[in-house]
Amino acid sequence: MSRVVPDISLILPCRNEERFLRNTLEEVCRFLASYGRSFEILVSDDSSTDGSKAIAEDYARGHPEVRIIPGAPARGKGAALSRGFAAARGTYAAFLDADLEIPVENLRQLLAALDEGVDIAIGSKSIGSTARQRPFVRRMLTGCYTAWVRLMLGSRLGDHQAGAKALRMDRCRAVLGRVKSPGWSWDTEMLIYAQQEGLRIRECAVTTQRQDRASRLQVFRDSIRVGRDVVRLRRQGNQLRHK
């Protein structure tokens, strides 16, 4: 296997995404090819039980820049992200949710921020001209969760959980190695550690496209889980101290 270092590694955490995955792979390959830099795409599969892995393997046969990172048993999105970042060879590494609720074109501004010297560029659904176009329940949950993280952990960020982030790997490997959450709070834990280390973080407004995804009940259940994880991080002594 070639050990050439690509400019960009794009991680797609995946569990049971057969409805979206082939179109997503086509879109991200087309975007990155047009971007003019070397790249790899890592499908980090969280032990999918549908046809996702077969779709990824079939696509990879004709696209050598695509790799599948398997994981078993299923542990959650955070575990898939940790495996993906551990396998990433790029100078920059980014991830997008596999359904492309945040379209791949949003990567352009995240990668540009890294070019300007930022260590971590994160998508934010809470800023920009389209922020108020999101469904009210989603906006309310994002706002409540952000307030909770600020209160409990002292974070100064406005959106911890949006599924689009890009990292300068030479600055972020140590932080990534500390993250233990296997679930949805992976992003928050990583960003708390990054702020502890004084890494430069920039929030970039992102656009979204509506996807027919989880029920409202599942959204509330996931919100409760990540809220509990914030309490766990506080109990472990991870409150940020600002001068």
Over residues 42-96, the pLDDT tens digits come to 999 999 999 999 999 999 999 999 999 999 888 999 999 999 999 999 999 999 9
Please indicate, yes or no, if residue 1 is contained in any of the structural domains: no
Please indicate, yes or no, if residue 2 is contained in any of the structural domains: no
Residue with more model confidence, 224 or 195:
195
% of residues, the chain, pLDDT over 70: 90
The chain-wide mean pLDDT, for the chain, equals 90
Band of the pLDDT at 243, cuts 50, 70, 90? Answer: low
Dist. CA 94–CA 1, nearest whole Å: 22
Please indicate, yes or no, if residue 196 is contained in any of the structural domains: yes
| 30 Cα distance to chain centroid | 20
The number of beta carbons lying within 10 Å of the beta carbon of residue 181 is 21
pLDDT digits over 105-115, tens only? 999 999 999 99
- For residue 160, give the 3-state DSSP assignment: coil
What domain count does the chain have? Answer: 1
Please indicate, yes or no, if residue 191 is contained in any of the structural domains: yes
Residue 131: partners with Cβ closer than 8 Å, 6 or more residues away: 125, 139, 205
pLDDT at position 42: 98
Structural domain for 171, as ranges:
8-235
**Residue 47, domain CATH:** 3.90.550.10
Please indicate, yes or no, if residue 122 is contained in any of the structural domains: yes
| 76 Cα distance to chain centroid | 13
Please indicate, yes or no, if residue 149 is contained in any of the structural domains: yes
Question: Cis omega before residue 70 (within 30°)?
Answer: no
Please indicate, yes or no, if residue 224 is contained in any of the structural domains: yes
Please indicate, yes or no, if residue 3 is contained in any of the structural domains: no
pTM: 0.91
Per the rule left: phi > 0, alpha: psi between -120 and 50, beta: everything else, 101 is alpha
